[in-house]
Amino acid sequence: MSGRGVDEEEEEAPVTHTGPKGVINDWRKFKLESTDQEALPPSKRELLRQMSSPHKPKDDSVGSLNRKMSVQEYELLKEDDEQCLRKYRKQCMQEMHERLSFGPKFEGVYDLDSGEAFLDVIEKEHKLTVVVVHIYKDDVKGCEELNNCLNCLATEYPTVKFCRINAAATGAGERFSDDVLPAVLVYKAGELLGNFLTVTQYFNEEFFATDVEAFLNDYGLLPEKELRVDGEEADVE
């Protein structure tokens, strides 16, 4: 025997299980942690505590956790199970995606205000992140429409960093004259993967985010879209 007490053994870090029992215990723990304990009546608080613990209570007077649940107890617990389960599923999907993607996530299109900021986003971004840069001028045809398209794509591809910069702010305005705009440059790990000048020449006069998406996909420049769980992201608060 090692001589350690029971309390010491119980304080060891829990082992993560992927089998059915491990999933059930993870769900019970999540339910306990995501419930506002202070707002619960003592009886429900005790039930949740017992359900979340994989160990038998030390005090036998509490009763065995294997006993059948009463109708009152069942009604007490089931009312918020569905929403809590949906939150749990969403959390699991997010954790799985983070483990698989190994990269940061972004929100919206980032405005770059200088040539230095332009170089930084190319050279210092995560090596697995695709960076799409739109070089524009406000009065050049197609630039505003392309900005709107990238706003839409940024919500569909959060692992891609979409940026835009006014040609005059790049420090190389002579290279980006009106006749080559709008221009789209695509980078990854500091390497230029795509250089599309007057990119609107590849689209119809009226174009949409799906057209830009299809164009970038034709060159293999976009990753797979995010995994979603039955549209729950819009439902769970």
d(CA 182, CA 137): 7
Query: If you compute the radius of gyration of the chain from its CA atoms, what whole number of angstroms results?
Result: 27
The upper half-sphere exposure of residue 73, i.e. CA atoms within 13 Å in the direction of its Cβ, equals 12
Q: In what order do the strands lie in the sheet with 191-196?
A: 110-112, 161-166, 130-136, 183-188, 191-196
* CB-based contact 121:113 (threshold 8 Å): no
What does the pLDDT read at residue 101? 55
What pLDDT score was predicted for residue 86?
74
Tally Cβ neighbours within 10 Å of residue 42.
Answer: 7
Where does 102-125 have alpha helices with state H? 115-123
What's the confidence (pLDDT) of residue 229?
Answer: 45
Q: Is 95 helix (H, G, I), strand (E, B) or coil?
A: helix
Measured from the Cβ of residue 133, the count of other Cβ atoms closer than 10 Å reads 21
pTM of the model: 0.57
pLDDT in tens, the chain (237 residues): 445 444 444 444 444 445 555 555 565 566 555 555 555 566 656 665 655 555 555 554 444 445 555 555 555 555 556 667 677 777 777 676 666 556 788 999 999 999 999 999 999 999 989 999 999 999 999 999 999 999 999 999 999 999 999 999 998 878 899 999 999 999 999 999 999 999 999 999 999 999 999 999 999 999 987 654 444 444 434
In angstroms, what CA-CA distances link 14 with 57, 122, 144?
Answer: 17, 41, 53
Identify the pLDDT of residue 174: 82
